[in-house]
């Protein structure tokens, strides 16, 4: 049996976790959540390790209540580890994959006790911002020794982990793939741009708005649809209003996957101005960019983290330096002025995703690494 551990399984932005739950070991998966979950992406046994007591183990209607040590920032209590190990043994779990390093460090002891192979899939903040904390790095070094494999979504983040002490022989680069079969046939509107992502500092939505403001001066028919929500939403609304762009920029908030696909089918271009946040938080390789490429959208983004590993400058889109709003605006205008180039970039991006970043390919890589 295979176990998948995560902080939770229902964050709207973490579609990759739900894909791993559905596809890595169908019908043979135990889910481990660090918080209480009301639903799961698959019908599977669920272990909930809430920070509050009691802890529950669910399997259909069968609920066992236990009391264990509270979760600490760097390790799980020994009594809880003992109990979790007993659950792993009960279900015959041989392999665990933890989503994010911050989750994996809580499973080190339980995996050792149960004799399970422990793999960890890093994603972004856990291989950037968190590396600034010496206590986390110390915990990671224990994790690197215990883990059977360490997976990063980009070579950029893999290098960060290597610099933090992860042995090269344990490192694997496997992006979070996308379903290339479920995209809606494109029906693009020439001047319609799309941005998808949480309104956080590393996504820099204010930079995206500033770049579009320049575009709007040259292309008064242009429209920017921004999907997502987050702590910078109010600032984004204020910026749109201060620029007088309420009719040209739509801030639609959090939407479901079907709406995202629909908007991708309508758009002529995808833009994302990812940057390194002041606290060190960075992207891994944004799934939304891969989804946009799969939908035949040219991408205008930044030279940030793993993005250049997917978007090939002047082949599948354009990449500009972080915070260079002028360059982003110029590149957007270049593509709006040249529909043929825009279409060629979109087709090249679609082929690149099919060949390198399809869900089938990346899931296959993970299965091979973990011998599932």
Q: Where are the domains of the chain?
A: 2-177+358-370, 192-356
- Rounded Cα distance between 187 and 221, Å, is 17
Q: What is the pLDDT along the chain (372 residues), one digit of tens a residue?
A: 999 999 889 888 888 999 999 999 999 999 998 877 777 888 888 887 755 433 444 443 232 332 233 333 334 456 778 888 988 999 999 999 999 999 999 899 999 999 999 999 999 999 999 999 999 999 999 999 999 999 999 999 999 999 999 999 999 999 999 998 876 788 899 999 999 999 999 999 999 999 999 999 999 999 999 999 999 999 999 999 999 999 999 999 999 989 999 999 999 999 999 999 999 999 999 999 999 999 999 999 999 999 999 999 999 999 999 999 999 999 999 999 999 999 999 999 999 999 999 999 999 999 999 999
Task: Characterize 328-337 residue by residue with b for buried, 16 or more Cβ atoms within 10 angstroms of its Cβ, and e for exposed.
Answer: bbbbbbebbe
* Same fold? 2-177+358-370, 192-356: yes
Q: What would the 3-class secondary structure string for 304-323 be? A: CCCHHHCCCECCCEEEECCC
Fold entry, domain 192-356: Rossmann fold (3.40.50)
Q: With contact defined as beta carbons under 8 Å apart, do 165 and 144 qualify?
A: yes
pTM across the whole model: 0.87
Please state which of the four CATH numbers 3.10.450.100, 3.40.30.10, 3.40.50.720, 3.40.50.2000 is assigned to the domain occupying 2-177+358-370: 3.40.50.2000
CA-closest candidate to residue 153, choices 337, 356, 370, 2: 356
């Amino acid at each position: 049996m295979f176990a998948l551990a995560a902080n939770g399984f229902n964050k709207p932005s973490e579609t990759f976790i739900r894909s791993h739950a559905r596809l890595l070991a169908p019908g043979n998966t135990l889910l481990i959540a660090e918080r209480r979950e009301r639903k799961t992406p698959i019908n599977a046994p669920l272990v909930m390790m809430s920070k509050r007591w009691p802890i529950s183990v669910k399997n259909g209607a069968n609920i066992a209540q236990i009391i264990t040590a509270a979760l600490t920032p760097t390790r799980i209590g020994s009594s809880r580890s003992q109990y979790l190990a007993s659950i792993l043994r009960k279900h015959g779990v041989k392999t665990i994959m933890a989503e994010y390093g911050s989750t994996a460090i809580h499973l080190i002891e339980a995996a050792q006790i149960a004799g399970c192979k422990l793999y960890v899939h890093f994603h972004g903040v856990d291989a950037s911002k968190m590396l600034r904390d010496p206590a986390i790095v110390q915990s990671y070094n224990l994790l690197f020794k215990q883990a059977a494999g360490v997976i990063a979504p980009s070579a950029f983040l893999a290098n960060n982990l290597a610099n933090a002490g992860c042995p090269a022989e344990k490192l694997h680069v496997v992006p979070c793939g996308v379903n290339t079969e479920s995209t809606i046939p494109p029906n693009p509107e020439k001047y319609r741009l799309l941005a998808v992502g949480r309104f956080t500092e590393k996504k820099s939505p204010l930079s995206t708005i500033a770049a579009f403001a320049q575009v709007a001066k040259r292309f008064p028919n242009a429209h920017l649809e921004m999907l997502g929500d987050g702590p910078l939403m109010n600032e984004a609304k204020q910026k749109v209003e201060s620029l007088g762009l309420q009719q040209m920029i739509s801030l639609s908030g959090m939407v479901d996957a079907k709406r995202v696909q629909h908007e991708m089918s309508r758009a002529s271009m995808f833009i994302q101005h990812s940057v390194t946040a002041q606290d060190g938080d960075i992207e891994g390789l944004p799934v939304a960019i891969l989804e946009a490429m799969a939908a035949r959208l040219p991408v205008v983004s930044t030279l940030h983290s793993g993005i250049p590993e997917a978007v090939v400058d002047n082949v599948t889109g354009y990449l500009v330096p972080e915070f260079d709003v002028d360059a982003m605006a110029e590149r957007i205008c270049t593509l709006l002025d040249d529909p043929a180039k825009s279409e060629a970039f979109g087709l090249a991006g679609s082929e690149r995703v099919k060949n390198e970043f399809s869900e089938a390919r990346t899931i296959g890589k993970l299965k091979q690494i973990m011998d599932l």
